[in-house]
Amino acid sequence: MPVTTSRRSVKDKYVQSYPDDLSVLDEALNKGLSGSSSAVANYEDALGEWFGLSHAVAVSSGTAALTVSLAAAGVSPGDEVVMTPTAPLCTVYPIMAAGATPVFADVRSDGFGVDLGSLDKACTARTRAVIDIPMWGYPTEVDQLQAFCDDRRLPLVLDLAHSPGTTLHGESLAHYGSMSCFSTHERKPLATGEGGFILTDDSNLATVCKSYRKFGNLSGTSLGMNYKLAALPAALGLSRIRYLAEQIDQRRANARFVLERVTNPHVAELKVIDGGEPNYYSLLLRLNFSDNDAFIDYLDERGIPSDIKRYGCRCLYEFPAVSSYRSDCSRSAELLASITTLPVHGGVTQADLEYLVEVVNSYEGG
């Protein structure tokens, strides 16, 4: 079927301003600008409530959230941290910056969850933490992973930067980790420009995280850095979180619209695990063409961006900066070579959605 619609350009991110942004910023300006402002504490309360966890610690970025979590988990130079290589560079750099060694375990065959056999082989006496990274908002088997980590008394850090609103058995994925890390960078579902936060139900870990982000409370007894979130992004976050559930519903509806209409036999949604529900940060298609990159290029040439192309996604140890931690995770490589993302965020219009379907279905490669 030829593409009849004229060429469109589908936005790869949704930068939105909200009617109350200026008023909440104005109010926050009068309460102080630093991380000690009541705007930050109020934002943390709202985060804990939204996700259903007892403690939220706001920090300056998702990277800061990972850095602080690793410190709270006791990760020190020479320790090992196990993760899958399908994550972004943003997840592995904090491990390396802590002087620890990233050790890669392979994914399962049908998604981004870590294979427990591969994880077991990757764990040594030096393993100090495990990081799981559900990609593009698709849930992973964090329940099984938590049981694995509990057995071995290993902290489980979840990098949920893509996954606010993603659930397993009706609960936020954050419910399953020792600590869960989020980013509120402009591209993420809850956007404050730059920013991040940690969620935990463990009050000791929350105390350590809060201390570490603030120079160890300047007591001089334990190391810390400054990773506090400033008051203005916190005020934006506090205001914008009220729209988050509705926006995730919109993403889910958009994904459904596309999936119900895609008829190209070489594409299917990535398998959603039993009991899980993605937030549709992106819609993930599993591709089965003789040349998957040619399909991704075809979409790209028609104004439909893919994160796979944009970030040059490959196993992390294939990047020069990470190559000294090379491993052989063949299923991870296969997975990254056989998927693409489709934008379904709130900035994608109904006409865009119809266009997406039309372009996917019009591709004639096999």
Ligand X SMILES: *Cc1c(COP(=O)(O)O)cnc(C)c1O
Binding residues vs ligand X (CB under 6 A): 61-63, 87-88, 90-91, 133, 159, 161-162, 183, 185, 196
Give, in degrees to the nearest 5, the angle at Cα 162 between 157 and 164. 80
Query: What minimum distance in Å lies between the beta carbon of 353 and ligand X?
Result: 24
Chain position whose Cβ is nearest to ligand X:
62
DSSP 1-24: ----SPP----SS-----TTHHHH
CB closer to ligand X, 91 vs 166? 91
Q: Which residue has the tokens 């379907």?
A: 357
Q: How far apart are CA 73 and CA 227, in angstroms?
A: 16
CA nearest neighbour of 181 among 198, 193, 202, 205: 198
CB closer to ligand X, 102 vs 360? 102
CB closer to ligand X, 81 vs 133? 133
Q: Are 278 and 167 in contact (CB under 8 A)?
A: no
Query: What minimum distance in Å lies between the beta carbon of 237 and ligand X?
Result: 12
Query: What minimum distance in Å lies between the beta carbon of 307 and ligand X?
Result: 10
Query: What minimum distance in Å lies between the beta carbon of 64 and ligand X?
Result: 7
Helix-helix angle 62-72:203-212, to 10 degrees: 120
H or E segment and range at residue 70: helix 62-72
CB closer to ligand X, 63 vs 239? 63
Query: What minimum distance in Å lies between the beta carbon of 86 and ligand X?
Result: 10
Q: Are 241 and 46 in contact (CB under 8 A)?
A: yes
Phi-psi sector, 327: left (phi>0), alpha (psi -120 to 50), beta: beta
Scanning the chain, the segments in alpha helix (DSSP H) are: 21-29, 38-51, 62-72, 89-97, 116-122, 142-151, 203-212, 231-240, 244-261, 292-301, 307-310, 330-336, 350-362
Query: What minimum distance in Å lies between the beta carbon of 134 and ligand X?
Result: 9
CB closer to ligand X, 88 vs 347? 88
Residue 187, both tokens: 């591209």
CB closer to ligand X, 98 vs 360? 98
CB closer to ligand X, 157 vs 208? 157
Query: What minimum distance in Å lies between the beta carbon of 310 and ligand X?
Result: 12
Q: Are 105 and 122 in contact (CB under 8 A)?
A: yes
Query: What minimum distance in Å lies between the beta carbon of 192 and ligand X?
Result: 10
Q: How far apart are CA 282 and CA 352, in angstroms?
A: 14
CB closer to ligand X, 66 vs 304? 66
